[in-house]
Amino acid sequence: MSKVDPVGEALALFVAPFDDEPEAWADVLRRASIASDAAPRSRVRRPRRLAALVFAAAALLALALSPVGGALARGLGDFSAWLTGNPGDPASESDQRAFDAENERTWARFPDGSELRRVIVTEAGGGTFELFGFRSGNSLCLRLTVEGIPNEGASTGCAPLSELSRADAPALALHLDAGFGHQDVPRTEEGFVPARASASFGIVADGVDAVELESSEGASRQASRTTRSSRLPSTPRSGCGRRS
């Protein structure tokens, strides 16, 4: 028979567990982005020589998705097509298998049977980037994979459907500055090795033609342009812009 721990019992009464609390990772990213924009530059600025090197060697990729037609009439902040439909085309079997295998190994996995759909393919910084969308419970997720860059990998971001339905902004960033690979440069004094390529991706409402990104170093730059994809005529418009 286990011994009763009165301290543990008291603490159990003190604050009840949080069960079934909705995730709000997109909110974390949004707060991080907003605060970064407002932060003093000196806090995030790296030495000028290094920063220049980062810009010279890194590829900044911005991927933006938007719902299909009809949403424009409902305003820029409307994500209804994303909420009711599926973006893109079914992923190839190999892509789906790779996702399933990786998901199987992951500690915090997505539900089994998550159907991956390919939304956009583009190239930047010597790598081929593929953006996939899928649903996970009550969230809509985007997954970016890259090939052709050493230390390649995948980045995934999710937004609760409730966030999309009540969003008051025409764009939701799901992942900011996902790094891929490493540059062949010495570590900074903080031990940081800049990524060879970085990518940001998210969801934008219809009527959004471009996304403007600002780097964490404070340098403003136009990094996205929206183009209509001929490969995916019946799916959300998708576009990309990049800078290297």
Partner 1 sequence: MRKPAPGATLDEIESIYRTRLPDFRRVAAAILGDRELALDAVQEGFALAVRERSSFRGDGPLEAWLWRIVVNAARAHMRPRPAEVDMEMLASGNGHPHDSDERVRAAIVLLPERQRLVLFLRYYADLDYGAIATALEISIGTVGATLNAAHASMSRLLEEVTQ
Residues at the site binding partner 1, with contacts judged by CB under 8 A: 6-8, 10-11, 13-15, 17-19, 21, 23-25, 27-29, 31-32, 35-36, 39, 44, 106-108, 153, 155-157, 175-179, 187, 190-193
Where is 30: in which H helix or E strand? helix 25-38
Identify which of residues 21 and 168 has a Cβ nearer to partner 1 in the complex: 21
Number of H helices, E strands in the chain: 7, 11
Measured from the CB of residue 19, what is the shortest distance to partner 1 in angstroms? 7
DSSP assignment of 192-232? ----SEEEEEEEE-TT-----EE-TTS-EE--------SS-
Measured from the CB of residue 5, what is the shortest distance to partner 1 in angstroms? 9
Identify which of residues 6 and 113 has a Cβ nearer to partner 1 in the complex: 6
Measured from the CB of residue 78, what is the shortest distance to partner 1 in angstroms? 25
Phi first, then psi, for residue 95 (nearest 5°) are: -65, -40
CA distance 119 to 231: 10
Measured from the CB of residue 101, what is the shortest distance to partner 1 in angstroms? 16
Measured from the CB of residue 26, what is the shortest distance to partner 1 in angstroms? 10
220 token code pair: 């403003």
CA distance 46 to 44: 6
Identify which of residues 44 and 231 has a Cβ nearer to partner 1 in the complex: 44
Identify which of residues 124 and 199 has a Cβ nearer to partner 1 in the complex: 199
Identify which of residues 62 and 178 has a Cβ nearer to partner 1 in the complex: 178
Measured from the CB of residue 155, what is the shortest distance to partner 1 in angstroms? 6
Q: Which of 145, 149, 144, 143 is nearest to 125 (CA)?
A: 149
56 token code pair: 């010279």
Identify which of residues 61 and 176 has a Cβ nearer to partner 1 in the complex: 176
DSSP three-state, residue 119:
strand
CA distance 67 to 81: 5
Quick check: 22 and 136 in contact, CB under 8 A?
no
Measured from the CB of residue 40, what is the shortest distance to partner 1 in angstroms? 12
Identify which of residues 66 and 215 has a Cβ nearer to partner 1 in the complex: 215
Where is 7: in which H helix or E strand? helix 6-14
